[in-house]
Amino acid sequence: MPARPPKRSLATQRWAVLRRLFGKGTPARTGHCAHAQTIRDYFRHKAHAQGYTLSHSQQRVIDSMAQQASLLLGASRQTPPSLYLYGAVGRGKSWLLDGFFQALPIEQKRRLHFHQFFAQLHQGMFSHRHLDDALGATLDALLEDCRVLCFDEFHVHDIGDAMLITRLFKALFKRGILLLVTSNYAPEGLLPNPLYHARFKPVIDLINARMQVMEVGGPHDYRSQARNHAHQLFTQGHYVWPATPAQRQRLNLPPQDAPPLALPVGTRHFQARLCAERRVGFTFSDLCEQPSAVMDYLELCRRFDQWIIDDLPELGTCSIAAQQRFINLIDVLYDQDKHLTLLGRLPLRESLGGDAIDLARTRSRLGQLQEVHGAP
């Protein structure tokens, strides 16, 4: 009678399971290790080419992404835990997300700004409103056979959106989609309005249960560094102040008293100050003091590549609603990589006061514009 193998302790059994999960077991897992190494090598070369030194927290995220690639691309095709990256602006969250997306050698992946996806989700659910499962039908159309979905700049400020996000996340996890999310907020900091925060708690619990939550920190704001922006159209834009007639003439910009033009956007008409081929101009008031929305900005981005926004006020004097629309507008222009010329009366830093929650991200992004100052 053959001898029984020695009984292993519970801790030993758990360690063996973990080693198999993350590809640290037998040589049979070499394929898994190769997938992980592909991710690590990609980031190492990308950081070296851009002159970056990876922070400790960035390296931890890369190691986690490498483990995810091992599980996702292995023979068992497991869906690893999803990933939620949060931290202050400019700490490399989007850089990490983009790198993983580019390095992952599969076609069934999507990378979207959360604003953009949510606008498409609303439109799709309206189109499928006659169906019992409008959300499911919309996700079928938007994602098809997607296995990896990357959301950049995830945030929640509206209770109506929060309720839909609850359903969305449950549906994505049920489909076995690997979800990667970046945000300026830890999960507990989402929807901070105390009137609604408790109603969003189920989503926070779901994120903490189904996603690996990791902070991306470090002392440097990488967006403030001028290098490596040559390929990015947004960062070639300008902030012009105090926007004198001479500056406007020199830069071929509309005069301050340019008459309004009616510009159709969907079923509505917006007031523009310039509309010529792929170039469009508005005042701050035209877009941000009116009931405009992210879907409007996305539609305008589809039609125009060069944007002029005139008469930027001191944001702190504007309503929170106007501040939030401006934040959303800059998010869309940045993510769609449109050339922006912004005009104001004061230095940029003095114009960007205010109490809206996401203004730090807007300051960081607009800080990449080239400032043009002329004599008043």
Work out the angle at residue 21's Cα, subtended by the Cα atoms of residues 17 and 22, and round it to the nearest 5 degrees. 125
Q: Please give the pLDDT value at position 1.
A: 44
Predicted local confidence at residue 263, as pLDDT: 97
Three-state secondary-structure class, residue 97: helix
pLDDT of the residue at 223: 61
Residue 26: the pLDDT is 36
This model's pTM is above 0.85: no
Q: Where are the alpha helices (DSSP H) in 199-255?
A: 201-210, 245-250
Q: Left, alpha or beta for 77 (phi > 0: left; psi -120 to 50: alpha)?
A: left
pLDDT at 14: 45
The pLDDT assigned to 197 comes to 86
Identify which of 354, 349, 367 has the alpha carbon closest to the alpha carbon of residue 322: 354
What is the C-alpha to C-alpha distance for residues 196 and 177, in angstroms, rounded to an integer?
28
What CA–CA distances, in Å, run from 38 to 64, 66, 85, 99, 180? Answer: 13, 8, 21, 11, 18
Strands (E), the chain: 82-86, 109-113, 148-152, 178-183, 211-215, 238-241, 261-265, 268-272, 274-276, 279-283, 306-312, 339-344, 370-373
What is the rounded CA–CA span in Å between residue 145 and residue 109? 8
Positions in the chain whose pLDDT score sits under 50: 1-12, 14-31, 226-227
* Residue 331 and residue 153 in contact, taking contact as beta carbons nearer than 8 Å: yes
pLDDT for position 320: 92
Residue 214 β-bridge partners: 85
